[in-house]
Homo-oligomer: A and B are copies of this chain.
Amino acid sequence: MTESAITAAILVIGDEILSGRTKDRNIGTIADYCTAIGIDLREVRIVPDEAERIVIAINALRETYTYLFTTGGIGPTHDDITADCVAAAFGVTIDVDPRAKAMLLERHKPEDLNEARLRMARIPAGADLIANPVSKAPGFRIGNVIVMAGVPGIMQAMLDNIGPTLATGAKVLSETIEAGNLPEGTYAGGLAAIAKAHATVSIGSYPSMTPNGFANRVVVRGRDAEAVARARDDVSAMLEGLRGAHA
């Protein structure tokens, strides 16, 4: 499939994901969002709450892709170190940002804005804030790096805020053709030939298990609607023919 000029990666930061205690839901949300607005999500990494690991991953990913989305590690507790790591990755200072502090004061009385809560207003120099309508503590964007909360409801609100400001490419269109219980091994040869003949689209076959056995799907993806439609028609016709032979 022709690649979009606009690419992205996700960096999920958090011991709790690697231990299994928390099951990530943000990757799927951001993946759907990128696909919907025409950004190619090209890589995801999950790393622990360790500064060196986070800094290395931020620099590797921000240099490779148009955008890097991070989730997690921007709360008030000692294990929230993402903002400091982003500042270190960019080689900029980090301090309490008056705009971020003002946002926190919408939720907290001045006397409740203790040192821990003020950590959530520490923003790398030169970053733009991303509003958090849920609990006020903002995310931020610096360069091509978009730093968001780990709590899914807050992450989603931040993504909705920053999304419309991002550069996007042509959207990927996709068509799903149900192969049902027709075995992948039966249609794989025909599918490979169709994939070869339609080089501008990407064709994948995705088995899943149901209580009644496999339920297979073929997905055709591409940026050219006519090319996608042509490949879909060829896949449908091929599956139809095999179903007749298989029945």
Contact = CB atoms under 8 A, between A and B. Distances in A.
Interface of A: 12, 15-24, 27-28, 31-35, 41-49, 53, 75-79, 108, 112, 114-117, 119-120, 134-135, 151-154, 172, 174, 184-186, 188-189, 191-192, 195-196, 202-209, 214, 219, 221
Nearest to A14: B204
Contacts of A153: 209
Q: How many of these chains are in the complex?
A: 2
A72 B35 CA distance: 21
A205 B49 CA distance: 12
A24 B27 contact: yes
A24 B28 CA distance: 8
A42 B49 CA distance: 10
Contact of A77 (B34, B75, B191): B191
A48 B42 contact: yes
Nearest to A192: B78
A116 B27 CA distance: 32
Contacts of A184: 75-77, 116
Given A16-B219, A34-B20, A78-B192, A45 B44 contact: yes
A12 to B, nearest CB: 8
Given A207-B151, A209-B134, A31 B20 contact: yes
Contact of A46 (B43, B76, B202): B43
A16 B34 CA distance: 13
A150 to B, nearest CB: 8
Given A17-B44, A19-B221, 9 more contacts: A17-B31, A20-B28, A21-B219, A78-B191, A79-B205, A116-B192, A117-B188, A152-B209, A153-B209
